[in-house]
Structure 1
Amino acid sequence: MPAHPDRRMLWRNTALLTILGNLIAKKHILILGYGREGRSTLHRVLQAGGFASVTVADQSSVVPEDPNVQVLSGVSYMDTLDQYDLVFKSPGIVLPKNPTQYTCTFTSQMEVFFLACRDRIIGITGTKGKSTVTTLLYHILKENKRDVVLAGNIGIPAFDILEKIGPDTRIVCELSCHQLEYLNLSPHLAVLLNLHEEHLDHYGTMERYIRAKQQIYLHQKPEDKLICELSVLPRKGTCRSHIYTVSDRFSTADVVLSGTKIRFEQGDYRIPVQKIRLLGHHNHIDIAFCYAICHMLGLSDAEFDQALKTYRPLPHRLSLIG
């Protein structure tokens, strides 16, 4: 059952804000990027308090919620990073130099969130399909009365959901390569759907892009779990967690999609293709990932099936009309 609101507030106050407060105490803080995540970060930094100063930097002209917050804007907004102790970098901002060449310390909203909540996070990434898997998984768990919240690259900053998190809440979190690239932690349950050539304008090489995505499992512990497509199986010795593979071609995988049938552990599940709005084989692979996760979390096939039938795909995805 969902946690009582008072318990949620108590957990939020004693966990993440405590970690954030200790991190920023007596330091000169810069929030680099003032989009949705930057505004969310500033709000929690002001709430935690105890910093020496706080500044917002953005290429565009911005007006912070607190008039006491200093502002850097214009083309030179990243010229003075080393004047700060701690920089909260927003995803997608490209630093002029390698982070190791600065004297300041870089962190992010997601990294602080992971420090507090890592053990309850189901982190989902991949070049294709991550938004579908994230929202489908959240929908199925929510429909079955599980204590679950949604956050991440889906458009919901992690710091915005603190009041919704209780001691037993699971967090379904979509993670982009930009959110992952500087993370030094990995989620308890990591999902790597696939890897295709993308964002090379930012990373320069496919190797650097892949390395960013691999952060989802590189810092996992032995008791953690990774669910990945068989073609992106980590090299031996690079992943300490328990690995489950997914494939639509090889029967040796742990999760096998054969036509519309999913085999995982002791059971077989038939996707009710005539009764769902998700169309196409690529969506069936996404369903297979969600089925395995839900099975691990204790949902029955009947519970999964009923919720799958009520899921509405995200806009601009292949689906039935009418």
Structure 2
Amino acid sequence: MKEILGDSVLILGYGREGKSTHQYLLEHYSDKKIGIADQREIKPIDSVAKLYAGKDYLKAVINYDVIVRSPGISLQLPELQAAINSGRKLTSATNIFFSECPGMIIGITGTKGKSTTSSLIAHILGKEYPDVRLVGNIGLPALDYLSGADKKTVFVAELSSHQLEDIHYSPHIAVILAIVPEHLDRYGDFSSYVKAKGQILRYQTPNDIVIFNPSHDIVAQLVSTNPAKKYRLSLKRRKDAFSFLDQGDIFIQKESNRPQFVLHRQEIPLLGEGNIENTLAAITVSHLLNVSLGEIREAIFEFRSLKHRLEFVGEYHGIRFYNDSLATVPEATIHALKALGDDVETLIAGGHDRGLDFSKLGEFLRKRKLRSLVLFPPTGEKIWQAMAKTIPKERLPQRYDVSSMEEAVRIAFQTTPSGKICLLSPASASFGLFRDYAEKGNQFKKYVKNLSSKD
């Protein structure tokens, strides 16, 4: 199905994906009249028929045959709904990619673990396939990587809820990781967020594949009516699991055959139980695509954690520093604390408020022996209240409220004992004081290294 029909195309949102779409249209649809609309001011662009910038940018949508929506722009905006009702075609860079991709697409979604799982899948498949391309929400716009692809090209696509909510296609292989509340400021409620994630399955057929952990009830419900072939993974041994963890070892099991050993848990160079599940998903995809167990093992041994995901920054003055700035939901921070164990004595948390529930994190923190809790607004107060409501004052960690990363790191150096860990794991989005999680993590790493050289 062609996504670009008609004579005129409006690119709605001119960030990374919007710019990628613009370049792709210039190369492949040079006969179309192209417009660009963005709430921010945009410098003049020679190849664009018209620019629409500022608060009234959405008025442009009614003037174009096709509207290519960037993921950051809500599908529910009244102006977009009015354009759809008047016969305009609404699409996205993700839809264009799926419609024009000649090769196989493996799509990965879930709340956390998408980037690590996608990167590990691409790394393992590279042992067997000569042309594997990692694309999508990981920061690699898919349209930038279509050039030169053919039917033998394998695309590994990380897909966010924003990219999936209006998708018209499904990947041949869909991997769905755990889904927990996130982006509630955009979706309004958890069920709408889950529905957006579930769109990855909507167009699958009996010839396609879905990989999931049935212990995640929400994911299991999404998969239950899906016609695709189902491959299960599990953190414990079960008869219906294709890949599973049993007594510290990872196995695969094909139908009625005996389980085959893959590797020991401690050989996985990634921290935390969440990364065991990510590894199981990558093993399942790779072995279904005929990568040998030897090649899978070799690739896993080589793999290293990604930036901002339980990233070891270094040891300074005897203090180990870890950057987990991509932990934008409470569950991710819990996973990080479990992975690093009782040596964590300073936690830096808090950030943008998306309406998430911090009660589980508060309950978990009540059982820990933190020395210092360094908190960014506005969710820092919510995290503190969730933890402090049932714990005696004498057992509370020392609280520090901060408004800059330099201040947070300075406190960490002053209060964390030698031999212990300082962990940045916000349990919240980073907007407000920081542009995004990457800027927050990069500032953390910068100040750790800068302040370590000072007495």
TM-score interval w.r.t. the shorter chain? 0.7 to 0.9
Give the one of 195, 218, 239 matched to 2:226. 239
Quick one: higher RCO (CA 8 Å, sep 6+), 1 or 2?
1
* Equivalent runs, 1:53-202 vs 2, <5 Å: 53-63=33-43, 65-94=45-74, 95-97=76-78, 99-102=80-83, 103=86, 104-117=88-101, 120-202=104-186
Deviation at 1:49, TM superposition (A): 3.0
Residue aligning to 1:289: 281
| Contact 2:36-2:48 at 8 Å conserved across structures | no
Report the TM-score when normalising by structure 2: 0.62
Deviation at 1:277, TM superposition (A): 2.3
How many residue pairs end up in the alignment?
302
Q: Output the amino acid matched with 1:162.
A: L
For structure 1, the 5+ residue unaligned runs are 1-15
For structure 2, the 5+ residue unaligned runs are 316-455
Higher Rg of the two aligned structures: 2
Deviation at 1:118, TM superposition (A): 7.4
| Contact 2:103-2:153 at 8 Å conserved across structures | no
Residue 298 of structure 1 aligns to a residue in which SS? coil
Residue aligning to 2:202: 218
Aligned CA distance change for structure 1 residues 253 and 64 (closer, same or farther; 3 Å): farther
Q: Is the aligned partner of 1:209 residue 2:193? A: yes
Aligned CA distance change for structure 1 residues 51 and 207 (closer, same or farther; 3 Å): farther
| Contact 2:105-2:156 at 8 Å conserved across structures | yes
Q: Percent identity?
A: 36
Report the TM-score when normalising by structure 1: 0.86
Q: Is the aligned partner of 1:279 residue 2:266? A: no
Residue aligning to 2:251: 263
Deviation at 1:100, TM superposition (A): 4.4
Deviation at 1:205, TM superposition (A): 0.9
- Provide the rounded CA distance (Å) in 2 between the counterparts of 1:144 and 1:236: 29
- Provide the rounded CA distance (Å) in 2 between the counterparts of 1:293 and 1:306: 16
Deviation at 1:319, TM superposition (A): 5.8
Deviation at 1:146, TM superposition (A): 3.6
Q: Output the amino acid matched with 1:258.
A: D
Deviation at 1:70, TM superposition (A): 1.1
Q: Is the aligned partner of 1:303 residue 2:284? A: no
Residue 312 of structure 1 aligns to a residue in which SS? coil
Q: Is the aligned partner of 1:34 residue 2:14? A: yes
1:145-192 deviations in Å (ceiling 9; x for gaps):
542111000111111012252220110000000000000111000000
Give the one of 289, 309, 319 matched to 1:317. 309
Residue 59 of structure 2 aligns to a residue in which SS? coil
Residue 183 of structure 1 aligns to a residue in which SS? coil
Q: Output the amino acid matched with 1:49.
A: Y
